[in-house]
Structures are given as C-alpha cells and as structure tokens.
Structure 1
Amino acid sequence: MLEVALPDGRTYAFHTAVFDYNGTLAVDGLLPAAVKDGLIALAGRLRVAVITADTFGIARDQLRGLPVELVILAAGEGAAAKAAFVEAAGAGGVVAVGNGVNDKEMFAAAALSVCILSTEGASVPTILAADIVVPGPEAAIGLLLNPTRLEATLRR
C-alpha cells in the first residue's frame, strides 16, 4: 500500500500499479536493467501488473522472474480490456502508467495516471488525459518509490 496525502486534503491510497509494456516500460520490446530493478523495488510496496498487446512477442521472456503479473491481450483487445482490468483491480487504488492511444481509457478509469514520453513517443490525447507526464519509466517508478515527488507534482 502506498499512501499520499496532499496539502489540500486529497489523499491517495494505491494498492496496484498497472503498466503498459511497449513504449512505457520497454523500448523495441526490450526491458532495460534499471527498469527491472525498479519493478522489483516497487513490487515490495504494490501489486504490479503489466498489460500489453506484446507487439514484439517477447514481453514474457523480458519479464520472466520479476514479481509482476503479466496480462497479454488477445488480438483485437485493447483500450477497453485495459480499462476493464483497472476497474476489476479496484480502480480507486490504481495508478496507471502508459503512453499509447490504447492507454487513454485505463487512464480515465484509474485514480492516478502517468504518461511516459520516451523514445517511442506518446499519444497526444493520452498525454492530455494524464495526471502526470514523465520522461521515462524510471521517472514513473521513482514517483511511486518516492511519494514526496507525487505530493510536489500534484499539490494545488
């Protein structure tokens, strides 16, 4: 559980972090070592789920041995399936992290959304739907490992 109390009285109590994979955690399907380390640290605090269409077909291998739940979407599934996953996880306690068009709906469902603007880029509608935009997965994971960063960013 991760609790964040903001000076204006708003509070967040996160139990789950839901990540997109390609363009969010991985570049060209490959997961950097620093991201792997961050996911391990984060899994000590929250349930960590990765939900992906697995464009490159290697997400399972790249995430093998990490304490994360992997959901690979079937062909034709996408935005609605991601949002449904967030809802089923208890959306009020979910932080969603993504970058693509198919992440916008899960952003709307989650209590907090973080958009990654990295090598793959990010969908403008998804950026506009996000609560926070960061330059890479390490920064997104860092927000959750150091919740004072969230407080500083979200204060009014």
Structure 2
Amino acid sequence: MKQLLDTVWQRRGTSWIWDEEARNQVCVAREVWSLRQFVQAVGKWPEDLPSNGNNTLVVAGLEGGLDLLTPEDAETWLGDSMKQATLSFQDAYDGQAALIFWLPSGQGRIKFHPATDSVEWRCAAPHSDRLLAFGRILWGEANEYPQEILLREGSKPAGLFHLRIT
C-alpha cells in the first residue's frame, strides 16, 4: 500500500483516521460532527465547514454504528447509506473539501492485506471473528488508493486516505 506524507488528506478526499495527533491537526473537539449530524446534512451541506479553515469535516461515530449491527447489516449500511452520504459530500464540494471519519479504535480494527492492498474491518463482539470487506464496499478495491497517512517519515500509519470514491 502506498504511503502519504503530504497533508492533502487535511483538505481533500475522504480519510479514516485513528491517530489523535492527526485528528488534532485538523480540528478541535467541538468541531467534530456526530454521525447523526453527518447523515442529516446529506443534500443540504453547509457552505462553510467547521474545521481547518472551512476545508474539513470530521465525523465521529462510524465505528459505533458498525458495532451495533450484525456483520451482514453493517455491510449493507456501509455500502448503501454511508457510501451515498460520502458521495453526496464529495459532489457538494466538488472534491475541494476533506471528509474525515474519526475511528479511535481503527488501528486495531483495520486489517491490511499487503499482497492485495485490500482493507478489512474487524467486527465487534460477539462477531469479532468476522471481517467486513471495507475497501470493496467503499471504494471497490481501487488499488491506487487508499494510501496510508503518515505524519512523519518512519511513523506508524495514522489512517487511510482516498482522494475520490466513485
């Protein structure tokens, strides 16, 4: 998987971050939207985004939403509702804004497969033995993306970045 040292993820595309330092680079806690606010904004996006000089929207709650559902329902919800909301955001800002999903436990839940560049999400108990095909569901396994976000050379990944989901 390609690695990204650039800060483009703070201004463009869609990211899933789990590193607190990375999140703090783009917003303060009061600027983070709930998943509910995000879903309610579909089709009526604000002119000004709350973070990073009106360039960024940070959303918390995706992992909680996934955890409340069975793996089958989570896959459907992620592929239908969440993907459509993400596409709506991209279209509304013509790709000129960043959508960041804050996943505090993402580092332990995202599973990379280096041989195929596929990305999976480990479900929560009682389904912790199951994996969702996160990459296939959200970006169709487009192998040029996602990229691992690195905050500095040699650091552990802080998240994943995808420039444009189709």
What's the TM-score, normalizing by structure 2?
0.33
Q: Which has the higher contact order (CA 8 A, sep 6+)?
A: 2
What's the TM-score, normalizing by structure 1?
0.34
Q: Which has the higher helix share?
A: 1
